[in-house]
Amino acid sequence: MLYSKSPRTTYNTQLIHTIRRYIALLLLFCSPVLSSTPHESLVHHNLQVEIHPESGDLIAIDTIHLVEDTRVISFLLHADLSVALIDDAGTLTKGALLQGSVPIRQYQVHFSTPSQKVTLKYAGTIAHALSAEGESSSLRQSTPGKISIQGVFLSATSYWYPQVADALISFKMQVKLPDGWRSVSQGRSLPGHNGWEEQQPQEEIYLIAAPYHYYNMAEGSTLAEVYLRDNNPTLAKRYLLATFDYLSQYEKLIGPYPYTKFALVENFWESGYGMPSFTLLGPRVIQLPFIIHTSYPHEILHNWWGNGVYTDIASGNWSEGLTTYLSDHLIKEQQGEGAKYRRNTLQNYANYVRAQDDFPLIHFRGNQGQISQSIGYGKTLMLFHMLRNEIGDELFIRGLQQFYKNYKFRKAGFAQIRESFESVSGQSLKPFFEQWLTRTGAPTLKLSKVNIIQAENRTKLSITVEQTQSESPYWLKIPLFVVGEGLNQTERHTLEMKNRKTTWVIDTATSPVSVSIDPLFDLFRRPDPSEIPSNLGQLFGSQKIMAILPSNDPGELKQAYQALVTQWQQRQPGLTYLWDNQINALPQQGHLWIIGARNRFADHFSHLVTNSEITQGASSLALTQTNAVHPNQTLGYIHSDSIEAIGGLAKKLPHYGRYSYALFNGNQPQITQRGEWEVGDSALSQRIQKNYPGPMGQIRDHSPLTDYTQ
């Protein structure tokens, strides 16, 4: 998703780490170490760590403090680390070998008399290679753990420290590194910057290290930090200043920042991770000018949601959707583009999620590709937007603040979210949450009939709306806008709907010019095709699609285009192809790619290709349009002047799914322009006075949430 069409270019893997760790820990036999629940348990690690990047080795001593006396301690550790017990009072035994993201060994320490403390010494090599993650077209890489001359990345999935049960932890860690190297972890740095300490409950311990250039800036009790691999004070200053801007914004909206610092840390591969009190971004990512205003605030906000209030994974991952709503969506709201962002969110769901692939929100665990992202991020985002509309902006903000205050550094799920918002609103939200958390699918709306009724010098409107999805009806509160004669003549009504088809009669104080249902995309639903422009995502999300290749192109160019399609077939098995000389007319069923300027069907796009305002200066391009004869069919067009660029297009184009067109330059194609076509009249709007020439009211979007916290 890096370099993608979405502002969301980074990934929070902390929750995925938790899942993997939890699965492995289930394999442990029941241990008497901790009798309290994971919410109450706290294990403290006092670590001394020595890192040798040249060999990939670490040497560590860990004194583990428990909350109560025990006779047996069970823990897991990377199987390639040899471990010894320093305490004389206990006996160390080796248990089963488990296979996770790394080889894991189970151990037990038996004490002759109950003890709360054990000290272990261990050493060995952790050097797992980078590998691709996610879909085949993804640019993402990851490693469960790596110590190398390029840098150090250690997390819970590395099993680089003894993991005891599923308890929350605190730690103090001294780190010895080669000269010129610096380490990063959550919490505050120890004097002399030779280690880290965090006393607040954490889910895991990170250790990142490299030969960094270090920059910082203090404001009050909070420190902003930047760790770069090359000296770049100008770039560092931009991030330092932005850090305090976003911290201030989110503190006003939610509550005090939960950590003493926030750091931007440059990784040694392309990544975008959000950890407690820092983010780990790749060397190319941090240079992108838009990152500081898109992905960067998202990762800062994760310190409230996901790394501040922890996610109770068993009941569904709420933190990604809430973070996206209060960062990516909020930024667009501040720019006056909130409705457009929500439309794109619904568009992604419609493009990528089929009934057989859908799942309820309570089953979302983490981002595994477009389908899970469209549900876990997009649908959850819309849940919080609908909740905001349900109780109002100010109560919504109070609910966020109460939830954060009550569950900071604790695990919480949707049940605790519901309780918080019920508390501030004084109303039962059980039906709302049950519907949107447990059902799959989405409603589809149809504006069936609009009539004007004149009675006793008053104007009434009769509105009929249907839910046309195959699933049972949803309980909806549908926004209805009546636009009247005059600049300020716009009314908003709410239509409560529980049945398949409902008719309302409403009073209106204006002379209606038009009516629209949900024009601001306030409901989670499948949008009507007339509401969205043609877009690349319709093609990439299609389960049955054909590519038509140019038979008259030179051999090398034909091979490059064919290789592009072959690569896409790995992620899209329903994609087939044929050559343009094999057919006399375009197929009428399914979406189509028309590839190459010499393609005999390329003239379908001639009106767009010759539009210099769109295509001028582009050496590679991708365009879409709706087939005028078959409006349910989307046509896509790809052309490149450079054979070398086509391989790059194959990798990059799937990440521009929200756009109607994307233009590139160079043999290593760099995006120069992308955009969305304007949308005409929606089937969910009806013009009552078709020839009305005068001024009329406007449908205005919601004010940003931050307007209520200034």
Q: Are 464 and 448 in contact (CB under 8 A)?
A: yes
The model's pTM: 0.91
Q: Which CATH code for domain 536-675?
A: 3.30.379
Report which residue type is found at 54.
E
Reported as type and span, the H/E element at residue 322 is: helix 319-324
Q: What is the spatial distance between Cα 288 and Cα 286, in angstroms, rounded to a whole number?
A: 6
Instruction: Give, in order, the Cα–Cα distances in Å from 519 to each of 59, 481, 500, 515.
Output: 61, 8, 20, 10
Q: How many CA atoms lie within 13 A of 347 on its CB side?
A: 25
195-244 confidence digits (pLDDT tens): 999 999 999 999 999 999 999 999 999 999 999 999 999 999 999 999 99
- With residues binned 3-state (H G I as helix, E B as strand, rest as coil), the percentages for the chain, rounded to 5, are 30, 35, 35
Q: Residue ranges of the domains in the chain?
A: 14-301, 310-438, 445-531+687-708, 536-675
Q: How many CA atoms lie within 13 A of 628 on its CB side?
A: 2
Reported as type and span, the H/E element at residue 300 is: helix 295-301
What would the two tokens of residue 445 be?
Answer: 């709306």
Q: What is the pLDDT of residue 41?
A: 67
Homologous superfamily of the 14-301 domain (CATH): tricorn interacting facor f3 domain (2.60.40.1730)
Can you state the angle between helices 555-569 and 643-652, rounded to 10 degrees?
Answer: 10
Q: How many CA atoms lie within 13 A of 162 on its CB side?
A: 31
274 three-state secondary structure: strand
Q: Which residue has the tokens 């605030």?
A: 297
Fold of 445-531+687-708: Immunoglobulin-like (2.60.40)
286-300 confidence digits (pLDDT tens): 999 999 999 999 999
Q: In the chain, what's the furthest Cα-to-Cα distance?
A: 95
What would the two tokens of residue 519 be?
Answer: 């024009």
Q: How far apart are the first and last CA of the chain?
A: 33
| Of the candidates 587, 578, 577, 580, the residue with the CA atom closest to the CA atom of residue 551 | 580
What would the two tokens of residue 113 be?
Answer: 């008399």
Determine whether 480 is exposed, middle or buried from the number of CB atoms within 10 Å of its CB (0-12, 13-18, 19+). Answer: buried
Instruction: Give, in order, the Cα–Cα distances in Å from 649 to each of 224, 586, 596.
Output: 38, 24, 13
Q: What is the pLDDT of residue 137?
A: 44
Q: Which CATH code for domain 310-438?
A: 1.10.390.10
Q: Collect all residues with Cβ–Cβ distance below 8 Å to 667 and sequence separation of at least 6.
A: 642, 644, 645, 648
Report which residue type is found at 624.
T
Q: What is the pLDDT of residue 32?
A: 41
Q: Fold match between 310-438 and 536-675?
A: no
Report which residue type is found at 663.
L
Q: Are 435 and 480 in contact (CB under 8 A)?
A: no
Q: Which residue has the tokens 């990512």?
A: 285
Torsion sign, CA atoms 558, 559, 560, 565: positive
**pLDDT-flagged residues of the chain (< 50):** 1-39, 136-137
The b/e string for 541-566 (b: 16+ C-beta within 10 A; e otherwise) is: bbeebbbbbbeebeeebbebbbebbe
Q: What is the spatial distance between Cα 628 and Cα 119, in angstroms, rounded to a whole number?
A: 73
Q: What is the spatial distance between Cα 546 and Cα 576, in angstroms, rounded to a whole number?
A: 5
180 three-state secondary structure: coil
Q: What is the pLDDT of residue 19?
A: 35
